[in-house]
Chains A and B, each alone.
Chain A
Amino acid sequence: MNESRSRTGSALTLGLGIAAWSLLALTIGLGLGLPETVEQDVYSRLIAVHPPVAWAAYIAAIVTAGASLVWLVPRTRSETADLVAGASAEIGVVFTGLMLATGSIWGRPTWGVWWVWDARLTTSALMLAVYVGYLAIRRVPDAYEVRARRSAWTAMAAVVIVPVNHFAVEWWRTLHQGRSLAQLTPGDDLDGAFIGTMLLGFVAMTLLYVWLLIHRVRVERMTSRLEDEALADAIEARRAEAVGAN
């Protein structure tokens, strides 16, 4: 295997990675500098991280469904679409886990408990379970077409959870506050600082997601090539043994 095929990095991912991590560092820096609030003390600063992480989880789920739809349409079907769907779901599971973790860290001092069965938290937990199930069905070995079609339909069924999760706080009036951006007033100085940091967080998490996605797709493609080559090598070795025996 030559050098260029054994790496997942490129000039594009290098630039993207530097931008993503720099913006993330800047978001965290600005987030730590946000003022304490009367209601939530220092924990209000988590607004710089928690909504952007949730945003990235939503993007991941939507990209998984979009790529699955691309695969399901015969005219646009490609192996890349299937790889993107799988890679995006994996990253989405990580971001959904982070969303639950950061939410819990905020909820413990604010609500007094790590977890409550409110609509947003319940649908978030369901989202995690649904995408863990999707990854499980992707792992079931089968012929490529069969596995890809099965996964694509599962992704199409799974994505329904995203709007339900996003609008849960409005459809069911529960403990979790409303959508973050809808709650803030841009004209207010204090709210402006929070909004600015949070929007920077959105950009940072989106770039991080894209960066991870490209690397993951390339890793998957290399894994598949490695498996093909290993099979070809094994067949070649058996042939050589057979020739040697004769």
Chain B
Amino acid sequence: MWRDALAVAAKDLRIERRSRVATHQVLPFALVILVLFGFALDPDRGFLARAASGLYWLAVLLAVVLAAQRAASIESGDGVADAMRLSGIDPAGVFLGKALAVAVELVALEVVLGFGVVVLYGVDPSGLGLLVAAAGLATVGLAAASTVYGALVGGTRVRETLLPLLFLPAAAPVLIAATRVTDEALGGAVVGASVGVGDWLSLLGVFAVLYLCFGVLAYGPLLEDA
């Protein structure tokens, strides 16, 4: 299963390297969102620095939708899904491989967006360990969940509109928890908040494990319908 996963991840990342959709479309899209937040939320009032955590994760979340759509569309044309099924690759391996490829793209996206937030919003980066922990867990959860929902809508003709409707509410816990941990790391957390940073990290961890398990179980039957 793990060898299959690595092979599928390498295949998806090779396609991305050659097609450059992630670097030429998804990444610029996320940066455009950061700039648009700046236009919308008056930059003179220091509001952007205070809201940077939420805006950052919102930009990541919106970019994940594009990345997931892209990952699902790779299998949808030219009988690729049939070929994948006939190849004898473990469906759980396909799921883990696709999620891994999305996760690698997400890490790159998060690093670039992180620089964007520092430069554009005037955020002072601190608490790096906490940021890395939150980003790591959030990335695994988002990659797994987006791959699951990508497979759920993969065979439909309306997947472009259906994916955000299903995925964004499901991913809301990640947005909330990752934002709170980032707030804490940047020193902007609410004083006396009732929920500790450890609880939010646990939520991110539980979310990631849940969707990884769900994907491993469900991907086989869903791949049959794609």
Contact = CB atoms under 8 A, between A and B. Distances in A.
Nearest to A133: B166
B169 A149 contact: no
Interface of B: prevailing SS: helix
Interface string A167-181: 000011110000000
B2 interface: no
Contacts of A150: 152-153, 155-156, 222, 225
B89 interface: no
Contacts of B172: 122, 126
B225 A130 contact: no
Contacts of A164: 173
Interface string A126-169: 10011011101100101001100110011011101000100000
B86 interface: no
Interface residues of B, number: 25
Contacts of B210: 160
Contacts of B214: 156-157
A172 B152 contact: no
B194 A133 contact: no
Given A140-B162, A149-B225, A172-B194, A129 B169 contact: yes
Interface of A: prevailing SS: helix
B152 A146 contact: no
B155 A130 contact: no
A156 B170 CA distance: 12
Contacts of B156: 137, 140, 142, 150
Interface centre among B152, B169, B210, B221 (most CB of A within 10 A): B169
A157 B169 CA distance: 12
B40 interface: no
Contact of B218 (A122, A129, A130, A153): A153
Interface of B: 148, 152-153, 155-158, 162, 165-166, 168-170, 172-173, 176, 194-195, 199, 210, 214, 218, 221-222, 225
Sort A-B residue pairs by CB-CB distance and give the 5 closest, nearest first: A129-B169, A173-B194, A133-B166, A146-B225, A140-B156
